[in-house]
Amino acid sequence: MDKPQRTYAFPGSNTTNGYVSLFPSGLQYADRVYILKGGPGCGKSTLMRRLAKEMLEQGLAVELWPCASDSESLDGVLIPELSLAVIDGTAPHIVDPRYPGAVESLIDLGCCWDSRLLRQQKQQIIDLSNASSACYARCFSLLREVADVLGEIKDRHSSYAPEVCRQHKDSLLAALFPDSAPRCRHLFASAVTPRGLVSYAEQLSRQAANRYLLVGPPGGGREQLIGEIAQAAEARGCDMEIYHSALQPQQIELLLLPQQDTALLLLDTVPDALREGDTVINCGSYHEEDQTCLQQIEQLTGQAGQQVAAAKKIHDSIEDIYMQAVDYSKVEQIAKRLLATANNLAAQKQDE
């Protein structure tokens, strides 16, 4: 599996179950994790983008973790070859050190602001924060309606799901899986963002030479099939990267099997253009009455994205308040120390 220089995945997502964080799983193979703390506007995302740029310029692959609440901003950067990660450890994805000093280190950017100035804006910060929370409450209410509509589609197709799984499972198992020591990470390939539903699933699947495209409606067997293949891969000790559905986090949207140079990807319909190495597995077709449900899902998801966009607009106002209180010369000193550490690790890697 040929990893590209730059890949994207969401470490957390706004889902039908509320906000779901997969930060711990995404970080499990990082030996050095720097957790950035501090309010909006402290320069966390800018620092991570600087790190990513410098590492890319040195020829290292970078995994960028966009923020579901603002997909133009970053929640984290992972440099796999250095086993190094830098993440935003603030709400809603609060991350604290599990092995302080040994693996994780805290970087407090809150020491760079003038608390006196922020206290003068206390009530405005509280009011804006509460308004943002109300937007997310409405977003999650809409996404719970999406779950109900998806349930209607699944109920219509669930009768033939076991047969679809039985028909394709054995042939897939025979084509995959040697014995080896397993490694498994969980992330999201897509998320409901201010720009609507943003997905990197197809882009991520192109890392693999071989792709199985499981095509069909929700509940028709594709979810069960990809889930059972993941279970079989785990039982056989295979490395996996599991990417969960943005809307229903208990379900797998994309399964990457690096040792097999293979991806399994859920799709609603067959793509217009297939590439060499693609195999389409037909997991059923939509019923006529599904169309109304699909339109409802699109409408509700769009409305949920509008609530996230409204929350972002409020967050931007909060950020403006904090930016006026931040001493960016202090932030720059912290950034330079962190970047120096990463560059030293990169230099050691090149000397090996």
Residue 319 lies in a domain: no
Which residues of the chain fall below pLDDT 50? none
Residues 69 and 155 in one domain: no
Residues 335 and 234 in one domain: no
The number of domains in the chain is 2
Closest CA to 156 of 218, 214, 216: 218
pLDDT computed for residue 150 by the predictor: 93
Residues 150 and 89 in one domain: no
pLDDT computed for residue 179 by the predictor: 55
pLDDT computed for residue 4 by the predictor: 65
Residues 89 and 177 in one domain: no
192 and 304 in contact (C-beta within 8 Å)? yes
HSE (CB half, 13 Å, CA atoms) of 126?
Answer: 5
247 and 140 in contact (C-beta within 8 Å)? no
Which three-class secondary structure state does DSSP give residue 144?
helix
Parent domain of 72: 6-114+327-351
DSSP symbols for 265-297: EEESS--SS--TTEEEEE-----TTHHHHHHHH
pLDDT computed for residue 91 by the predictor: 85
